[in-house]
Amino acid sequence: MNSSEYLDYPKQILEYMDGFFVSKTMFAACELGVFDVLHESDLALSAAAVAARLGTSVDGTDRLLSACVGLKLLKAEMKNEEAFYANTDISSIFLAKSSPRSLYHMMMFHSHTTYKCWHFLPEAIREGKNQYERAFGISSKEVFEALYRSEDEMETFMRYMDTIWNIFGKDVLTAFDLSVFSTVYDLGGCSGGLAKQFVSVYPESTITILDLPKVVQTAKKHFITDEEHRISFHEGDFFNDPIPQADLFIMARIIHDWTEEKCLQLLNKIYKSCKPGGGLLLVEVLLNEDKSGPLTSQLCSLNMLVKTEGKERTPSEYSKLLTASGFKDIQVKATGKIYDAILGRK
Ligand SMILES: C[S@@+](CC[C@H](N)C(=O)[O-])C[C@H]1O[C@@H](n2cnc3c(N)ncnc32)[C@H](O)[C@@H]1O
C-alpha cells in the first residue's frame, strides 16, 4: 500500500477500534465453555451441537464459533454445507479449562474485573487513580481490599496469578543462578505459582511464601498440596509486619502495584532483612528506557493505572529504586518474553 492509499483507508485505526471485540469474543467463548466442549469431543461439532451442549442459542453460537475461526482459535470444516468446528492447538493448550497450561482464569479475571476498570480509562487518566469505585462501587482506598472484595473474587485473582507461571516461570527463575541462595522468601507469593516453579527448577531448595493471612489460607486450601513439602508459608503484611531474614527475596509483580514512596518503604525494609551477600530478585514487565515500547508493557502500565497505585517501569527506574534502598551490583536480564528479571545484591 502506498502512502496515499494508507491515508485513504485507515485500516490500522479501524483494527484498533475493534480491538475489544477480539478480547470479548475470546472471553465469551472461554466463559461459555466452547473450548472445553470441543476439547472433550472426539469429533468436530456443528454450531447446533455446541449450542445444545452449552444451552445457548444456535444463532448466537454460530456467530461466536465463526468469529473464533476468524481469530484462528477454532478451525472449521464444511460437510454437506454445514460447518463443523474443532479447537486449534493453541486453544486446546491455553484456553480449555482442563489443560495444565490453561489461561482460562486469567481470561475470566480480565473479562469481569479488568474490562470494567478499563471502561473508565479516561477518568483514570484525568484523576491519576484506579477505578474500583466507579466500576464496582467500592470506596476502599486499598487495592487488595478491592481485588479481594469476596472469597470468589480473591480465588479468581489467585488463579489468574497462578496460571502465568506455568508458562513464564522457568524463564524468569533461570535468568540468574539462584541455587547459591539458601533461605528464600517469595514476598506476595500469592497462590505459590512461582514457588512451585522455583522448587522444580532448583530441586535442592526450599521456599517460603509470605502473603496476607487470607491469601495464605486459600493457597494452602486450594493451590499447594501437602506433597509440596519444600514450600512453606508465612502469614503477614509486608508493609506493617516484620520481614524475616533471608538470603534471597523474590518479588514478582509486586513493585508495579505501588507508589514510589511505598516501593521505597518496602525495599528499605527488605534490605534490612536481607543477609549480607544475599539478593533481591524482582520480576516485572519492563519498559524501554525511552518508553517507546514494548507495546505490551505500555498497555500494562495503563492497566496498572486503572487497577493499582503503581505503574510499569524502565530498567533504570528499577535500578534507581534498588540503589536508593542500598542494593548494589544490579543486573537486568531480558527473557525475550513478557516478564524480565532484575537482581540486586547486598
Ligand atoms: C499482583 S499479585 C502478585 C502475586 C505473585 N507474586 C505473582 O506474581 O503471581 C500481588 C500479591 O501481593 C500480595 N500483597 C498485597 N499486599 C500485601 C501486603 N501488604 N503484605 C503481603 N502481601 C501483600 C497480594 O495478596 C498478592 O498475592
CATH number of the domain to which 70 belongs: 1.10.10.10
> What is the per-residue pLDDT for 1?
60
Instruction: List the single range of 16-30, 65-79, 219-233, 319-333 with lowest mean pLDDT.
Output: 219-233
**Same structural domain, 172 and 86:** no
Examine residue 131 and state whether it is found in any structural domain, yes or no. no
The answer to whether residues 215 and 73 belong to one domain is no
For residue 193, the CA-to-ligand 1 centroid distance in Å is 12
Is the minimum distance from the CB of 144 to ligand 1 under 6 angstroms?
yes
Residue 139 inside a domain? The answer is: no
Output the pLDDT for position 228. Answer: 83
Contacts of residue 191, defined as CB under 8 A and 6 or more positions apart, other chains included, come to: 158, 159, 161, 162, 215, 218, 219, 222, 223, 224
Regarding whether 177 and 30 lie in a shared domain, the answer is no
Asked if residue 123 belongs to a domain, the reply is no
So what's the pLDDT on residue 7?
82
Which of 78, 94, 110 delimits the end of a domain? 94
- Residue 189 Cα, ligand 1 centroid: separation in angstroms? 6
Question: Is 286 domain-assigned?
Answer: yes
Q: For 187-218, how does the pLDDT look when each residue is reduced to its tens digit (9 = 90+)? A: 999 999 999 999 999 999 999 999 999 999 99
Query: Is there a single domain that holds both residue 82 and residue 183?
Result: no
Q: Distance (Å, rounded) from C-alpha 23 to C-alpha 107?
A: 9
Q: Quickly state the pLDDT bin for 6 (edges 50, 70, 90).
A: confident
Q: How confident is the model over 287-312, as pLDDT tens digits? A: 999 999 999 999 999 999 999 999 99
144 CA distance to ligand 1 middle (Å):
8
For residue 182, pLDDT over 90 is answered with yes
Last residue of a domain, which of 51, 67, 94?
94
In sequence order, the β-bridge partners of residue 46 are: 84
Q: What angle do CA 9, 10, 11 make, to 5 degrees?
A: 95
In a domain, 152, yes or no: no
Out of 148, 161, 265, give the residue to mutate to test ligand 1, the one with the largest number of ligand atoms within 8 Å of its CB: 161
> Domain containing 86: what range?
3-94
Q: Quick one: 181 and 321 in the same domain?
A: yes
Is the per-residue pLDDT at 260 higher than 70? yes
Residue 81: which region, alpha, beta or left (left: phi > 0; alpha: psi -120 to 50)?
left
256 classed as catalytic: yes
Mutate to test the pocket of ligand 1, among 114, 253, 273 (most ligand atoms within 8 A of CB): 253
Q: How confident is the model at residue 133 (pLDDT cuts 50, 70, 90)?
A: very high
333 and 221 housed in the same domain: yes
- Taking residue 240's Cβ as centre, other Cβ atoms within 10 Å add up to 6
pLDDT band per the 50, 70, 90 thresholds, residue 166: very high
Q: In the predicted model, what is the mean pLDDT of residues 145-172?
A: 94
Q: Does 232 fall in a domain?
A: yes
Question: Does residue 252 lie in a domain region?
Answer: yes
Flag whether 257 is in a domain: yes
22-81, pLDDT tens digit by residue? 999 999 999 999 999 999 999 999 999 999 999 999 999 999 999 999 999 999 999 999
The mean pLDDT of 324-331, rounded to a whole number, is 98
**pLDDT on residue 226:** 72
The pLDDT > 90 percentage for the chain reads: 94
Q: Are residues 88 and 225 in the same domain?
A: no
- Please give the grid coordinates belonging to residue 129: 487513580
Position with higher pLDDT, 226 vs 149: 149
* Mean pLDDT to the nearest integer, 90-99: 97
Residues 183 and 43 in one domain: no
Domain limit, last residue, from 45, 66, 94? 94
Which amino acid appears at position 165 of this protein?
Answer: W
Mean per-residue pLDDT of the chain:
96
What mean pLDDT do residues 238-257 have? 98
Angstrom distances, CA of residue 206 to CA of 182, 184, 215, 224: 8, 7, 20, 14
pLDDT at 3 over 70: no
pLDDT level of residue 5 (50, 70, 90 thresholds): confident
Asked if 168 and 274 sit in the same domain, the reply is yes
What is the domain count for the chain? Answer: 2
Q: Kindly report the CATH number assigned to the domain that includes residue 286.
A: 3.40.50.150
CB 262 within 8 A of CB 311: no
Q: Do 193 and 284 fall within a single domain? A: yes
